[in-house]
Amino acid sequence: MHAEWLPTILQGSVSEIYVLKCDTLRFEYVNPAAANNLQYSIAELAEMSPATIAQNMTHEAYEHFFQDMRNGSRNSVAINTIHTRKDGSTYPIEFQLFYLASGAEPVIIAIGNDVSSRDKSDKALRASESRLGAMVSNTPGLVYQFLLHGDGQFSFPYLSEGCEALLGITAEALHANPTLFVELILPEDRQSYQDAMLASIEQMNNWNWEGRIWIEKWKDVKWINLRAMPRMLDEHCVQWEGLMTNITASRLEQEEIIRSRAQLAELSAHIDIVKEQERTHIAREIHDDLGGNLTAIKMALALLTRRLPRKNVELIEKADYVESLVDRTIESVHRIAGNLRPGILDFGLVAAIDWQGREFEKQVGIPCQFSSNKTEIDLALDQATALFRIFQEALTNIAKHAKASLVTVQLVHTRQYVRLEIVDNGRGIQMTDRNKPKSFGIRGMVERSIAMGGSLSVSTAPKGGTIVAINVPLPEIA
């Protein structure tokens, strides 16, 4: 190195550089970076010693360091101290001391760096790690890292304290033998675990899996949920950071809800069947007993009327009134019995729906166009009755709410299913309409369709209005 470069290097260095006389420990040289940081002039520093600005370091301590370097036991010494500025403020500094014996008087060269920023960063990092540790320790579950290598081997670089509480094995045991985790998964759930992991790798998106594990420690099965985000460490390694939680309680609750709904649906279907059977029984009783009695009354009344004197106009008028009353009562009996169970169902589903559509048009005044691709559709009596009741309810809803001017009904029979579609050109149905409290029309239709093994959908027609479609699957014929 050329000697003329040295002043420029010393002047331009951002490190604090000091040259001290070994015998007096006075500053022989202080570079501008040191003077600026200490807020002293070069002249002021020339009258000071290291112990003046580094008040936590004594003169004897410096002498000890220098002695080690003088006798050759140490080439350099690293020290950490705190400098005090002229205004009283302090800052940490890290020094490297070198002994230079050349020349008339040996000197100590001290090169130091202000480590305030580093210390602040370290402090912030420790605070951040402390906060993260607190959050992890209070997280209900297992916080983990999962590393998959290109050869298929995997490991758990990090496992939180919740490992043993969730999996029944310690973090140390899982670190030593990562395959213990896969062995916990029930055999029937392992394929879905692998598929979810591979899908996460292919798309580099969240790994989300739910499955069951066997906890040997407690002889129990747990449901766990695994959620983790992947990142590529290199072209062969993928690492996930995520959380495993125990979802056994929620899964059991979910299964209980599903089981309860199935029981309710079964009970609803049973009630509908019993109700239809009771309606049929009552309709027959009304038709046979009341109808028969009223017919006998009408015949007896006709006989009595013929025997009344023609001159007794008042009695003949009374007899005619009673006869008309009997006729109206017979009509009411037929209507009530028909409402309880339409006898038209005995002639088949196609005839029953066609008749109900014409009755709707006659009573409400809205045209109802019906078409079917079959003249006869062979359905079980319970299914045919349920499909007919759904049709009746759909027409009732149209009459009450749709404000329609036309209803189109299609009945389609294929090898796989029977489909009934009711379309109106009214105002349409809103989601709020379906969710109204105590609104049981559509709910009842859905329950009936489920009970007969079918499905029901309610949607908006392309040109406005509502489409109600019911699909009833048919048993496959070999």
Tell me the whole-structure pTM to 2 decimals.
Answer: 0.48
Taking alpha carbons only, the member of 129, 408, 440 closest to residue 272 is 440
Q: What is the DSSP string of 323-373?
A: HHHHHHHHHHHHHHHHHHS-GGGGG-HHHHHHHHHHHHHHHH---EEEEES
Single-letter amino acid, residue 33: A
Residues 6+ apart with CB under 8 A from 316: 305, 308, 310
The answer to whether the CB of 334 falls within 8 A of the CB of 359 is: no
Q: Which helix (H) or strand (E) holds 188?
A: helix 187-203
State the Cα–Cα distance between residues 183 and 193, nearest whole angstrom. Answer: 12
- Residues 48-73 have pLDDT tens digits of 888 888 877 777 777 777 777 777 77
pLDDT of residue 1: 46
State the Cα–Cα distance between residues 19 and 41, nearest whole angstrom. Answer: 15
pLDDT of residue 6: 65
Residue 7 CA, distance from chain mean position: 68
**Angle at the Cα of 238 from the Cα atoms of 186 and 129, rounded to 5 degrees:** 95
Residues 6+ apart with CB under 8 A from 361: 367, 368
State the Cα–Cα distance between residues 451 and 406, nearest whole angstrom. Answer: 30
Q: What is the DSSP string of 1-26?
A: --TTHHHHHHHH-SSEEEEEETTT--
Taking alpha carbons only, the member of 169, 180, 184, 257 closest to residue 224 is 184
Q: Which helix (H) or strand (E) holds 468?
A: strand 466-473
Tell me the backbone φ, ψ of residue 241, rounded to 5 degrees. -115, 130
The answer to whether the CB of 167 falls within 8 A of the CB of 184 is: yes
Per-residue pLDDT 10s for the chain (478 aa) are 455 666 676 676 888 998 888 777 788 888 998 899 999 998 888 888 888 888 777 777 777 777 777 777 777 888 888 999 999 899 999 988 888 876 667 888 889 998 888 878 888 778 777 776 766 666 678 999 999 998 889 999 999 988 999 999 999 999 999 999 999 999 999 999 999 999 999 999 999 999 999 998 888 999 999 999 999 988 889 999 999 999 999 888 988 888 888 888 788 777 877 887 787 788 788 877 888 888 888 888 888 888 888 778 888 888 888 889 988 988 888 888 777 777 778 888 999 999 999 999 999 999 999 999 988 888 888 888 889 989 999 999 999 888 999 999 999 998 889 999 999 999 887 666 655 655 667 888 888 888 888 899 988 888 888 999 999 998 764 3
What letter does residue 185 receive in the DSSP assignment?
Answer: B
Q: Tokens for 47?
A: 């009258």
State the Cα–Cα distance between residues 117 and 106, nearest whole angstrom. Answer: 34
pLDDT of residue 74: 75
pLDDT of residue 185: 95
pLDDT of residue 102: 66
Tell me the backbone φ, ψ of residue 39, rounded to 5 degrees. 70, 20
Report how far apart, in Å, the C-alpha atoms of 218 and of each of 97, 169, 213, 247, 399 are: 62, 11, 12, 17, 62
